[in-house]
């Protein structure tokens, strides 16, 4: 197997058709896992959706270094493929960098891949709610919100359009993992500035 940097376009089939979220994230770097010449997996990194998260991991001064491992999708998901794939992508990313990733409890994910690749466990994500519309529960809350992008009060606009079909649902919390890339001095500095407990 080989891991290669790939264009964003090659990730679309995997992310939109195989990954449970069925939604394209922000992508800064995208990697492909190849078995001979067959693309069997994609792993993408991008700027976190929340600037509060970006600046809150290791302080605002280190926010520019924070990227999220936001999609990991495998066609066959054979033993050890995921941990091998992630470990190889980490070697190919620019330095220094702070990687944050989440394991979704609603999908029964625990983050075993991150544990196997020496990520640091920092507990659960904060409690949040998602926007939902009756009959469209299969859609991600952000996908629904995108319809009203640029509108000042999106929740009000959604209530006006969907009425009683619009509601809020508590989002399942996620296991949060971190990985530091850089020199010994840079990693030491990141850990010193880390705002989350190492659990």
Q: Counting beta carbons within 10 angstroms of the beta carbon of residue 7, is it exposed (0 to 12), middle (13 to 18) or buried (19 or more)? A: exposed
Distance CA 22, CA 37 (A): 25
The tokens describing 58, both together, are 């290791």
For residue 168, CA distances in Å to 112, 156, 158, 171 come to: 30, 13, 11, 9
Report pLDDT for 148.
76
Return the H-helix or E-strand segment holding 177: strand 174-181
Domain coordinates in residue numbering, the chain? 2-126+172-193, 129-170
Report pLDDT for 108.
84
Cβ neighbours for 128, distance < 8 A, ≥ 6 positions apart? 170, 171
Mean pLDDT of the chain: 91
The mean pLDDT values, 10 residues at a time, for the chain of 199 residues are 97 96 94 97 93 89 96 95 98 97 89 96 82 74 74 81 80 90 97 95
CATH 3.40.630.30 for domain 2-126+172-193, yes or no, is: yes
Report pLDDT for 140.
64
The per-residue pLDDT for range 33-80, each reduced to its tens digit, is 999 999 999 999 999 988 888 999 999 999 999 999 999 999 999 999
């Amino acid at each position: 197997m080989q891991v290669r940097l790939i264009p964003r376009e090659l990730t679309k089939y995997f992310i939109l058709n195989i990954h449970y979220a069925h939604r394209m994230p922000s992508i800064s770097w995208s990697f492909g896992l190849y078995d001979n010449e067959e693309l069997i997996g994609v792993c993408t990194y991008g700027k976190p959706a929340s600037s509060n998260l970006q600046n809150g991991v290791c302080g605002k001064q280190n926010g520019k270094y924070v990227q999220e491992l936001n999609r990991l999708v495998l066609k066959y998901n054979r033993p050890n493929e995921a941990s091998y794939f992630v470990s190889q992508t980490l070697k190919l990313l620019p330095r220094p960098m702070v990687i944050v990733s989440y394991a979704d409890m609603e999908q029964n994910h625990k983050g075993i891949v991150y544990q196997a690749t020496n990520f640091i466990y920092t507990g659960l994500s904060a409690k949040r709610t998602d926007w939902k519309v009756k009959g469209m529960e299969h859609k991600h809350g952000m996908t629904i919100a995108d319809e009203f992008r640029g509108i000042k009060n999106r929740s009000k606009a959604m209530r006006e359009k969907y009425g009683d079909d619009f509601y809020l649902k508590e989002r399942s919390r996620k296991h949060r993992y971190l990985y530091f890339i850089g020199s010994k001095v840079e990693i030491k500095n990141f850990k010193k500035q880390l705002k989350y407990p190492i659990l």
